[in-house]
Amino acid sequence: MLSIPWLSSCFLETQILVYILLFGLAAIAILTWPRNKHVVLDPRGRAVLITGCDSGFGNQLAHRLLDMGFTVFAACLFPDGEGAQSLITHASPGQVKVIRLDVTSDKEVEQVKQYVLDNLPDKGLWGLVNNAGISGWGMVEWLTIEKYQRVLDVNLLGGIRTTLAFAPLVRKSKGRMVFLSSISAYVSSVNGIYSLTKAALEKFCDSLRLEMKRFGVKVCIIEPGNFAPATNIHPQANPEKVWDSLPAEAKKIYSKELIEDATNFLNKSLVGGSKNSYEVVDAIVDALTSPTPKARYLVANFVEKGLVYLYLWLPTLLFDQIISLPTTKFRNMSQND
């Protein structure tokens, strides 16, 4: 005869499985629920400010929005560069405003704000797209505090600076704020410096989204996977240069062979990324124009999405084992081995 405690245990386990199943079905229903994607927004007389328009997603988005009829404030680090000039020749006179902006400079952010105020079209600033960012890579001890400060200043504080400056204008038009994050906000492997900036940016956006909701402003996060070939955000790394850049203490701990393995692993990963940058641009356009934009747009391939979902659902110990598998073949972890 079966004992009562055993039956109770089975009943509880069955309940848990049922709850998990129902939760999964509900999640699938929400994610696949049809949204109204019909663009009813009239771009004429509306402006969008995009940071990081020199190249990559920012430059391609600016071209797309210009074709749609938006007025674009294209913030570039190099306004005389090839990317900025391509925007000027692409648009009709007055439709694009190419302006210099280093998002780490409070002074330049204020100057750009004044310029935008002086040149706004009739319907004001509809959108702010915080796209500017730089890549960072390496194990924690490989990097100096100056490197951490630089990446944080651009990827996190840069977006916060522009938000503080332009939130009043976007609020007035009840428009959109869009932030470029990454799947690295969830999945981190030998790129903790980049991941921490994106994870922090997402938490900032979560707070901002709730605060702006009462004003009719929608805040959206774009989470691309590996699009390195499409953006060239991180050029191929050289093992010798990586080794030379290491702090002296790190060279005592990590072997040169491991540096070579890790660098080759990075380069292979970069080459294997997607060239279809239009997928990310499509997501940003939807966030700017859809009547019902998503809070998050995960733009990634099947494997990348799978890793994100595993991170969210699996116990940390188990996920750590999975994410560590590609790096287990690195040679000679320590000089002392």
Cα(35)–Cα(297) distance, rounded to whole angstroms? 13
* DSSP bridge pairs for 220: 178
Cβ contact 300:183 at 8 Å: yes
DSSP string for 300-337: --HHHHHHHHHHHHS-HHHHHHHHHGGGTT-S-SBTT-
186 is catalytic: no
DSSP string for 36-57: --------TT-EEEEE--SSHH
Cα(262)–Cα(192) distance, rounded to whole angstroms? 14
The one catalytic residue in 186, 194, 297, 311 is: 194
> Which DSSP symbol is given to 140?
G
Cα(132)–Cα(108) distance, rounded to whole angstroms? 14
**Tokens in use for 18?**
């049922």
For the annotated catalytic residues, the residue numbers are: 194
